[in-house]
């Protein structure tokens, strides 16, 4: 069948009118909420959920006192423009950063809220006390030395402060803190 | 009157070796933290060199005359810091406790009298020192442990004098207010 030129023009015009006037219905399941790119970025973590590294990034629940220690450290950083003088009142930025990172990653396995001060060398010293002894952390720029004194016995451990070492630091801290809470003689706990 | 004890060039094993305790500044942002009851690591660190200064306080305990001699020097030293400090006394142990050390860490103490001071008060015939390793923070921890577990604290006399004067001030202000009250009552009548 042959369609004349005019008739085909009419059919085309009617079809175009029909398309224009008919609303396009998209199934709800296919609808996508539009958000500006910046917003999408802020809500999309850059982690690869399927990889193991994401699992390692999950942070433990922080200790209740962590925010106080953080603010004490931050408020003690030598102000910009002021020459650092090691008189016990100020901390170097690098030491403060390392210490904050250490507390961020270990606060849940530390014995209690520490008392902090600066050593004469500029390291941050954190002192803890428990029923059966004491713990002292000396945090310098690249390592932490942990002294645990239980029933007059000193356990000295030193760890380099690198991100891949925190798993072992946490493990050792946990066993030290357990010993601190228990004492060298388990029966003491029962006697309490 | 008995003479003050004159120390030998070698330190006897029972001699009282004391480290001066000055008040130490706290971190500027951490003034809100609860007071720490223990002795700070800073007390066993030196700013300048690897020799920890100590005083020989007596042959077998605290010698009162030696303490008086050293008290003046320590108070003087407290004023000489960049920011003036107060001298609170000494923490002391017997020399043999330092020699014995802890698990192989020993701290031999050597007499090092200061005799070339500009004035007499700059001299200290009872001065001695403990040699520290390159890792002075670790040494400081062990020294703190030895001094706190085997030693005692000897308060400075200044503290008790200050204490008395504080009491006197409180008493005086109380009497003054009582006097004012009585005078006011008399004038009312």
Give yes or no for a contact between B52 and B129, defined as CB atoms under 8 angstroms apart.
Answer: yes
A10 vs B18: which has the higher pLDDT: B18
Q: Which residue of B has its CA nearest to A135?
A: B141
Could you write out the three-class secondary structure of chain B? CCCCCCCCCCCCCCCEEEEEEECCCCCCCCCCCCCCCCCCHHHHCCCCCCEEEEEEEECCCCCHHHHHHHHHHHHHHHHHCCCCCCEEEEEEEEHHHHHHCECCECCCEEECCECCCCCHHHCECCEEEEECCCCHHHHHHHHHHHHHHHCEEEECHHHHHHHHHHHHHHHHHHHHHHHHHHHHHHHHC
Distance from CA of B29 to the nearest CA of A (A): 4
Q: How confident is the model at residue B42 (pLDDT cuts 50, 70, 90)?
A: very high
Q: For residues B16-43, give the mean pLDDT.
A: 94
For A1-31, the pLDDT digits (tens) are: 566 667 767 777 776 676 566 555 545 444 4
Min CA distance, A142 vs chain B (Å)? 14
Q: Which of A77, A119, A152 shows the shortest C-beta gap to B45?
A: A119
Is A122 within 8 Å of A92 (Cβ atoms)?
Answer: yes
Q: Which member of A88, A115, A147 has the closest CB to residue B141?
A: A147
B102 near A CB under 8 A: yes
Q: Interface of chain A against chain B, CB under 8 Å? A: 68, 71-77, 86-91, 115-121, 123, 125, 127, 129, 134, 136, 138, 140, 145, 147, 149, 152, 154, 156
Residue in chain A closest to B136 (alpha carbons) equals A121
Q: What ipTM score was computed for the predicted complex, to two decimals?
A: 0.80
Q: How far apart are the CA of A48 and the nearest CA of chain B, in angstroms? A: 39
Max mean pLDDT among A39-43, A163-167, B29-33 falls in: B29-33
Sheet-wide strand order for A153-160: A115-118, A124-130, A133-139, A143-150, A153-160
Nearest to B29 among A72, A120, A145 (CB): A72
Which H or E element spans position A114? none
**pLDDT tens readout for residues A29-48:** 444 444 444 444 444 455 55
Provide the mean pLDDT of chain B. Answer: 87
Arithmetic mean of pLDDT over chain A: 79
Which among A72, A76, A125 has CB closest to B41? Answer: A125
Interface mutation vs chain A, best among B28, B105, B143, most A CBs within 10 Å: B28
Cβ neighbours of B11 (radius 10 Å): 20
How far A92 CA sits from the closest chain B CA (Å)?
12
Comparison of pLDDT for B2 and A84, the residue scoring more: A84
Residue of A71, A89, A121 with shortest CB distance to B136: A121
Test mutation, B24, B33, B39, B48, chain A, max A CBs within 10 A? B33
| Full-model pTM | 0.75
């Amino acid at each position: 069948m042959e369609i004349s030129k005019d008739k085909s023009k009419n059919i085309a015009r009617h079809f175009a009118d029909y398309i224009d006037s008919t609303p396009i219905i998209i199934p709800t399941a296919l609808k996508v909420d539009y958000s500006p790119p910046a917003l999408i970025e802020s809500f999309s973590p850059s982690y690869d959920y399927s990889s193991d590294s994401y699992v390692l990034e999950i942070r433990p629940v922080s200790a209740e006192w962590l925010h106080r220690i953080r603010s004490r450290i931050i408020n003690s950083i030598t102000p910009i423009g002021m020459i650092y003088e090691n008189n016990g009142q100020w901390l170097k930025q690098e030491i403060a950063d390392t210490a904050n990172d250490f507390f961020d990653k270990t606060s849940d396995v530390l014995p209690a809220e520490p008392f902090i001060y600066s050593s004469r060398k500029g390291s941050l010293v954190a002192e803890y006390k428990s029923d059966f002894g004491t713990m002292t952390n000396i945090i310098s720029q690249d390592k932490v030395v942990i002294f645990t004194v239980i029933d007059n016995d000193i356990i000295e451990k030193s760890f380099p402060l690198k991100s891949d070492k925190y798993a072992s630091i946490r493990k050792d801290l946990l066993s030290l803190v357990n010993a601190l809470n228990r004492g060298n003689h388990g029966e003491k706990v029962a006697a309490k | 009157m008995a003479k003050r004890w004159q120390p030998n060039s070698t330190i006897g094993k029972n001699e009282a070796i004391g480290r001066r305790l000055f008040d130490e500044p706290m971190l500027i942002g951490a003034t809100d933290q609860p007071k720490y009851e223990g002795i700070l690591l800073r007390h066993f660190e030196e700013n300048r060199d690897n020799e920890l200064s100590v005083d020989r306080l007596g042959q077998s305990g605290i010698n009162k005359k030696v303490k008086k001699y050293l008290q003046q020097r320590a108070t003087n030293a407290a004023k000489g810091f960049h920011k003036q400090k107060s001298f609170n006394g000494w923490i002391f142990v017997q020399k043999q406790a330092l020699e014995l050390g802890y698990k192989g860490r020993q701290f031999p103490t050597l007499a090092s009298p200061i005799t070339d001071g500009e004035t007499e008060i700059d001299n200290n015939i009872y001065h001695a020192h403990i040699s520290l390793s390159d890792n002075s923070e670790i040494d400081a921890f062990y020294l703190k442990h030895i001094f706190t577990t085997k030693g005692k604290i000897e308060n400075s006399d200044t503290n008790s004098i200050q204490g008395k004067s504080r009491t006197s001030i409180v008493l005086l202000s109380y009497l003054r207010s009582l006097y004012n009250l009585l005078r006011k009552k008399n004038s009312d009548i």
